Amino acid sequence: MAKRLDLKDVDIYYGDFHAVQNVNLSVPPRSVTSFIGPSGCGKSTVLRTLNRMHEEIPGARVEGQIQLDGEDIYARGSDAVAVRRTIGMVFQRPNPFPTMSIRDNVVAGLKLQGVRDKKKLDEVCEASLRGANLWKEVSGRLDKPGGGLSGGQQQRLCIARAIAVQPDVLLMDEPCSALDPISTLAIEDLIGDLKKDYTIVIVTHNMQQAARVSDQTAFFNLEATGKPGHLVEIDDTEKIFSNPTERETEDYISGRFG
């Protein structure tokens, strides 16, 4: 059940610091949108506001509207926990729960939300691991700790864990930056598969990766350190990498940055 994301006039603050200024963009369902830009431009910050994860940092706040299929996720009375059940997230470094087996890691979300039915949990476990292209590698050792897998496998385990709760949107914060090229390829292939069922937003520092996996690309930039980051442009990935509208974008992707 992929859903559409719309950001309208979004401003993000950490206390007094204006981190990101006036972002307007739309993410259509069943597509991959990548956020690129230099460090500190606010792309990860924007990503984290999409499922209200930034609220874990004291003093962080958002102005403007972020809508999931037209419903404001920051509306009065809307619950951050409920938002995160709908909008899942995969992080930069693989972070399986160290006290849990591979199986328990995958179904952790469901289990902790109160699902007890063992048969259902086993089904979800297998489906999610298959979805994350990990089933063949781990089906024989589901009871072993998740920490024993390789980095790339751990990251796919985290993706399996994220899709096990059946979110509508999947956010990925530099999911390959801690992985070797082969594991990266595995994750990129997986993103291509997941696109059929999910709306995906991925932050990446690797422009080739953005070009390979995404349908549209958003370029963020900042004028200087201490100034707020802003969205320069968002367009079809092909257009951004071949014929961007803005000069800034062209300078960045061609390496003439700064």
Q: Compute the C-alpha angle 173/174/179, nearest 5°.
A: 135
Q: Figure out which of the listed residues 41, 129, 149, 158 binds another protein, where binding follows CB under 8 A.
A: 158
Which of 95, 104, 100, 109 minimizes the C-alpha distance to 145?
A: 100
Is 29 near another protein (CB under 8 A)? no
CB of 258 to another protein, least distance (A): 31
Is 14 near another protein (CB under 8 A)? no
Alpha carbon distance 162, 148 (integer Å): 19
CB of 230 to another protein, least distance (A): 26
CB of 165 to another protein, least distance (A): 6
Pairing between β-strand 199-203 and β-strand 169-173 as defined by DSSP bridges: parallel
Which of 163, 169, 165, 159 minimizes the C-alpha distance to 4?
A: 169
Is 116 near another protein (CB under 8 A)? no
Is 100 near another protein (CB under 8 A)? yes
Furthest C-alpha separation in the chain:
56
Is 3 near another protein (CB under 8 A)? no
At 65, list the tokens: 């509207």
CB of 169 to another protein, least distance (A): 12
Q: Which residue has the tokens 């102005």?
A: 63
Is 183 near another protein (CB under 8 A)? no
Q: Figure out which of the listed residues 67, 145, 185, 233 binds another protein, where binding follows CB under 8 A.
A: 145
Residues near another protein (CB under 8 A), total: 31
Closer residue to another protein, CB minimum distance, 113 or 242: 113
- Stretch touching another protein by CB under 8 A, among 15-23, 31-39, 88-96, 176-184: 88-96
- Stretch touching another protein by CB under 8 A, among 107-115, 206-214, 236-244, 249-257: 107-115
Is 5 near another protein (CB under 8 A)? no
CB of 83 to another protein, least distance (A): 8
Per CB under 8 A, which of residues 51..70 are in contact with another protein? Answer: 51, 53, 56, 58
- Stretch touching another protein by CB under 8 A, among 14-22, 85-93, 118-126, 225-233: 85-93
Closer residue to another protein, CB minimum distance, 43 or 161: 161
Alpha carbon distance 188, 194 (integer Å): 10
Contact residues for another protein, defined by CB under 8 A: 51, 53, 56, 58, 81-86, 88-89, 91, 93, 95-101, 104, 108-109, 112-113, 145, 158, 161-162, 165
